[in-house]
Amino acid sequence: MTAVAAALTISLAACSPVSAHPAAHTSHKHHSKVQHLNSTPTETPDPADSRPATPDPADASQPAPTLTPVPAGTVVAEGDVASPKGSIHFHYRVAANGDNTYTAQYSNFTSTVPVPVSVTLLDVPPKVGDGLTWHGVGDHQLGGPTTSPASSSASLGSEDEPSYLTSLVTYSSAASFDGVPVELGPNKVLAVDTVQWNVPVRQSNVHPVDGGTRTYAAGTVTATTSSGAPKSYRIAPGDITSFVAKRFGISVQDLIWLNTNLQVFGDQQYLYAGTTLNLDPNSI
């Protein structure tokens, strides 16, 4: 019995260093890139960790993304306006400036109403008789009861794809309600016309093609262009910038160009789950 006990003691002593070694080893993990990628975020990241996405070093050899503007002078919308009571008439057209901006041109303006008349472009049409609370894009006074120039123009500002502005709204620019009928008071809508846009597709050297769902790029294409190309993409948890770019056959530089101020977190540039990326050059 004494011999057996001694042998057991020696055996346990011999095993002791072996069991201690793995414990010491696991306390010094090596955080390699592969191990980091295999750790998918499960919590909403701290906004303080948010930062702009940056291209991979390899992207330096990629050509810079380009978008050719609609040629100057191209008419992208045109029509005639007549108010419901026939007291206001004019012609409008919207033309490209050749630098991704547009100008609205107005001609043949006539008015018999006793207040100044203005026009603006809106994305949500009001009704005649409503009061404007926002003066839209390209807000411009056409003329008044004493000064009515036959033609004038107004810049649409930085709008580079104006076709979302579905309505041309004519309204009263009266300074106050004093001395004018209620229907002609300040900001009263006098006419609403639907704008028929014909904006040519701008050409680009960036052509996203969906290569299919994959690890770190498992989100969903939520819209496509008329040609069937991916237009927008909803980010899934764990999506990483470089993997999403590869899924669509473009560079990280291109992805950032398509999404100004794209925000990421973590060393591997994780994207924020649930947000939507633009993939259509013509939409920027």
Please report whether residue 250 resides in a domain: yes
Q: Is 143's pLDDT higher than 70? A: yes
Note the pLDDT of residue 13.
Answer: 38
Note the pLDDT of residue 284.
Answer: 85
Same-domain check for residues 187 and 210: no
The last residue of one of the domains, among 194, 217, 248, is 194
Note the pLDDT of residue 61.
Answer: 74
Note the pLDDT of residue 46.
Answer: 67
Same-domain check for residues 82 and 176: yes
Q: How far is CA 183 from the centre of its chain?
A: 38
The amino acid sitting at 144 is G
b/e per residue, 94-108, with b = 16+ CB within 10 A? bbbbeebbbebbbee
| Overall domain count for the chain | 2
* Integer Cα distance of 261 and 14 in angstroms: 60
The last residue of one of the domains, among 164, 194, 224, is 194
The last residue of one of the domains, among 173, 194, 215, is 194
Band the pLDDT of 4: cuts 50, 70, 90.
very low
Please report whether residue 134 resides in a domain: yes
Residue 185, domain extent? 75-194
Give the DSSP letter of residue 29: -
Please report whether residue 130 resides in a domain: yes
H or E, element range at 33? helix 33-37
pLDDT tens-digit readout, 9-65? 434 333 333 333 333 333 333 333 333 444 445 456 666 688 999 987 766 677 899
Please report whether residue 58 resides in a domain: yes
**What is the pLDDT of the chain when averaged over all its residues?**
85
Please report whether residue 6 resides in a domain: no
* Integer Cα distance of 91 and 225 in angstroms: 32
Note the pLDDT of residue 58.
Answer: 66
Please report whether residue 18 resides in a domain: no
Tell me the mean pLDDT in the region 238-252. 96
pLDDT tens-digit readout, 184-235? 999 999 999 999 999 999 999 999 999 999 999 999 999 999 899 999 999 9
Residues 6+ apart with CB under 8 A from 224: 230, 231
Query: What SS3 state is found at 184?
Result: helix
